[in-house]
Amino acid sequence: MKPIKIVKLDTSINFLSKTKLFVSLSLIFIIASIFLLFSRGLNFGIDFNGGTLIEVQKISGNADVSEMRVRLGQLDLGNIQLQEFGKKTDLLIRVEQLSDEEGAQQAIIAKISEVVVVDYEIRRIEVVGPKVSAELIKKGIIAVISAVISVLIYIWFRFEWQFGIGAICALVHDIIITIGVFSLLQLEFNLSIIAALLTIVGYSLNDTVVIYDRIREELRKYKKMPIMELINQALNLTLSRTLMTSITTLLALFSLYLFGGEVIKGFTFAMIWGVLIGTYSSIFIASPILIGLNIKRDWSKKNEE
**Residue 158 interacts with another protein (CB under 8 A): yes or no:** yes
Closest C-alpha to 208, from 171, 182, 173, 254: 171
Q: Which stretches of 109-155 are assigned E, i.e. beta strand? A: 120-128
- Burial of 60: CB neighbours in 10 Å, binned 0-12, 13-18, 19+: exposed
Identified binder of another protein from the candidate list 116, 151, 235, 286, rule CB under 8 A: 151
Looking at beta carbons only, is 19 or 232 nearer to another protein? 232
What are the distances in angstroms from CA 86 to CA 60, 90, 262, 266? 16, 7, 6, 12
Closest C-alpha to 80, from 66, 67, 88, 69: 69
Q: How far is the CB of 88 from another protein (least distance, A)?
A: 15
Closest C-alpha to 17, from 297, 278, 281, 287: 287
Residues 6-35 that bind another protein (CB under 8 A): 6, 9
Looking at beta carbons only, is 36 or 211 nearer to another protein? 211
Identified binder of another protein from the candidate list 192, 232, 279, 287, rule CB under 8 A: 192
The answer to whether residues 190 and 128 touch, using CB atoms and an 8 Å cutoff, is no
Binding segment for another protein (CB under 8 A), chosen from 21-29, 32-40, 151-159, 178-186, is 151-159
Q: How far is the CB of 86 from another protein (least distance, A)?
A: 10
Binding segment for another protein (CB under 8 A), chosen from 36-44, 60-68, 181-189, 259-267, is 259-267
Identified binder of another protein from the candidate list 18, 20, 88, 131, rule CB under 8 A: 131
Closest C-alpha to 169, from 282, 272, 273: 282
How many Cβ atoms sit within 10 Å of the Cβ of residue 152?
18
**Residue 281 interacts with another protein (CB under 8 A): yes or no:** no
Q: Mask 90-119, x = binds another protein (CB under 8 A)? A: ------------xx--x---x--x------
What gap in Å lies between CA 33 and CA 250, rounded to an integer? 24
Q: How far is the CB of 27 from another protein (least distance, A)?
A: 25
Closest C-alpha to 163, from 216, 232, 217: 216
Looking at beta carbons only, is 42 or 198 nearer to another protein? 198
**Running DSSP on this structure, what letter comes out for residue 222?**
-
Identified binder of another protein from the candidate list 15, 45, 91, 129, rule CB under 8 A: 129
Q: Mask 227-256, x = binds another protein (CB under 8 A)? A: ----------xx-xx--xx-xxxxxxxxxx
Identified binder of another protein from the candidate list 16, 19, 26, 140, rule CB under 8 A: 140
Residues 48-67 that bind another protein (CB under 8 A): 55, 57
Q: How far is the CB of 57 from another protein (least distance, A)?
A: 7
Number of helices (H), then strands (E), in the chain: 10, 6
Q: How far is the CB of 17 from another protein (least distance, A)?
A: 23
Backbone angles phi, psi at 98, to 5 degrees: -95, -45
What gap in Å lies between CA 269 and CA 238, rounded to an integer? 26
Q: How far is the CB of 38 from another protein (least distance, A)?
A: 25
Q: How far is the CB of 224 from another protein (least distance, A)?
A: 20
Binding segment for another protein (CB under 8 A), chosen from 36-44, 144-152, 176-184, 287-295, is 144-152
